[in-house]
Amino acid sequence: MRALLLAAGLGTRLRPITDTIPKCLVPIHGRPLIDIWFDLLADADVERIVVNTHYFADTVVDHVASSPYRDRIELLYEEELLGTAGTMIAARRLLGDGAFLLAHGDNLTTFDLPQMQKRHENREPDIAMTMLAFRTDDPSSCGILETDAESRVLAMHEKVAQPPGNLANAAVYIVEPEVANYAASLGRSFVDFSTDVIPHFMGRIQMVETTGYHRDIGNPESLAAAHREFPTPKGAVTGLIN
């Protein structure tokens, strides 16, 4: 499997930390977040990791050049941000012809990718996407999911005041090529995965819930919580609930 790790964001909510470094290099226990991702993906035998760059792009290039995984990492520079699905469109050639992982790189996570892959391989024929989910302690800041008895995603409530539960979209997906093809068919350079793509596939997305650690470190409060909660720089990979 190949993976697209979204890491080009400006990290405005983490200022002043991100005044001098990109969000993907923000350290957790002294270790850059992107390195934790590289470990997780490499341990799951991901053959190629595509990372998009924009903000402090040269800093990311230099960091990747010193990574032990540099031979399997491909950098994709965006002069202007393309949106989470726009990047997927631009990276299609690098991602091959099969299903691939799409992940927001500003999450600190220890989910079990091999188990998620197995669930995707055993999906029902009409399922186009497998979405990782987690239980959040701040539902109003996340996309909260409604699912049926078969764990199909029926609705997603994005950052609403009174969400119906705490099962949240973890912004980690395994997607079939038809998902990228649909995004490209919209004919726009900037395309958002959550608002432009996910609604089209509602009912054709299966959810798997992680038992591992998962937190978006996009603001100072979440980053501080991660430093309190995350036990080691690499963490312990754990399974999926369903």
Instruction: Answer whether residue 209 is part of any domain.
Output: yes
Helix (H, G, I), strand (E, B) or coil at 60: helix
Average pLDDT over residues 182-200: 95
Helix axes 113-121, 33-43, angle to 10 degrees: 50
Instruction: Answer whether residue 137 is part of any domain.
Output: yes
pLDDT in tens, 215-237: 888 888 888 888 888 876 444 44
* Residue 45: per-residue pLDDT: 93
Distance CA 3, CA 46 (A): 7
Q: Which CATH number belongs to the domain containing residue 201 in this structure?
A: 3.90.550.10
Distance CA 96, CA 36 (A): 24
* Residue 237: per-residue pLDDT: 46
Number of domains the chain is built from = 1
pLDDT for residue 238 is more than 70: no
Instruction: Answer whether residue 241 is part of any domain.
Output: no
Instruction: Answer whether residue 129 is part of any domain.
Output: yes
* Residue 240: per-residue pLDDT: 52
Instruction: Answer whether residue 235 is part of any domain.
Output: no
Is the Cβ–Cβ distance between 217 and 108 less than 8 Å? yes
pLDDT in tens, 53-65: 999 999 999 999 9
* Residue 239: per-residue pLDDT: 54
pLDDT for residue 30 is more than 50: yes
Percent of all residues in the chain with a pLDDT value above 90, rounded to a whole number: 70
Is the Cβ–Cβ distance between 21 and 6 less than 8 Å? no
Percent of all residues in the chain with a pLDDT value above 70, rounded to a whole number: 95
**Consecutive H or E run containing 223:** helix 220-229
Average pLDDT over residues 71-97: 95
pLDDT in tens, 115-174: 999 999 999 999 999 999 999 887 777 788 999 999 999 999 877 777 777 889 999 999
Tokens representing 31? 């270790």
Whole domain around residue 217: which residue ranges? 2-229
Single pTM value for the model? 0.91
* Residue 235: per-residue pLDDT: 45
Instruction: Give the CA angle between residues 93, 65, 99 to the nearest 5°.
Output: 30
Strands of 159-198 (E only): list them. 167-175
Instruction: Answer whether residue 234 is part of any domain.
Output: no
Instruction: Answer whether residue 35 is part of any domain.
Output: yes
Distance CA 242, CA 240 (A): 6
pLDDT for residue 97 is more than 70: yes
Q: Under 8 Å CB-to-CB from 137, ≥6 apart: which residues?
A: 166
